[in-house]
């Protein structure tokens, strides 16, 4: 492994990429990316995937009693159908 981040191999950079992203640092400022289009493309792809995942997650978590309310509504519907 090299001490100079700008001279590290793609494998070395990618091995530390998860930690770099997880640290909250701006990974796009890493010196290796100045000279490596392959790793710049990888980082761009990962950022696109992360953004898509954020859009899939709800803005708020459901309330704790959500499943109980769903179950109750299903039971009421079933009872109503049985009475008809």
Query: How many domains is the chain built from?
Result: 1
Q: Provide the 10 A C-beta neighbour count for residue 6.
A: 12
pLDDT for 10 equals 95
Q: Is the pTM of this model over 0.75?
A: no
Structure tokens at 36: 């490596």
Cα 54 to chain centroid, rounded: 6
Distance CA 24, CA 53 (A): 17
Domain containing residue 30: 5-83
Q: Per mean pLDDT, which range of 13-17, 32-36, 79-83 is the poorest?
A: 79-83
With a pLDDT cut of 70, the percent of the chain lying above it is: 93
The pLDDT, as a whole number, for residue 19 is 92
């Amino acid at each position: 492994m090299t001490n100079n981040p700008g001279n590290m191999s793609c494998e070395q950079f990618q091995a530390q990429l998860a930690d770099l992203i997880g640290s909250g640092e701006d990974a796009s400022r890493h010196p290796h990316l100045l000279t490596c289009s392959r790793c710049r493309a990888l980082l761009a792809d990962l950022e696109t995937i992360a953004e898509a995942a954020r859009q899939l997650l709800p803005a708020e978590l459901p309330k704790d009693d959500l499943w109980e309310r769903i179950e109750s509504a299903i039971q009421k519907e079933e009872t109503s159908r049985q009475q008809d």
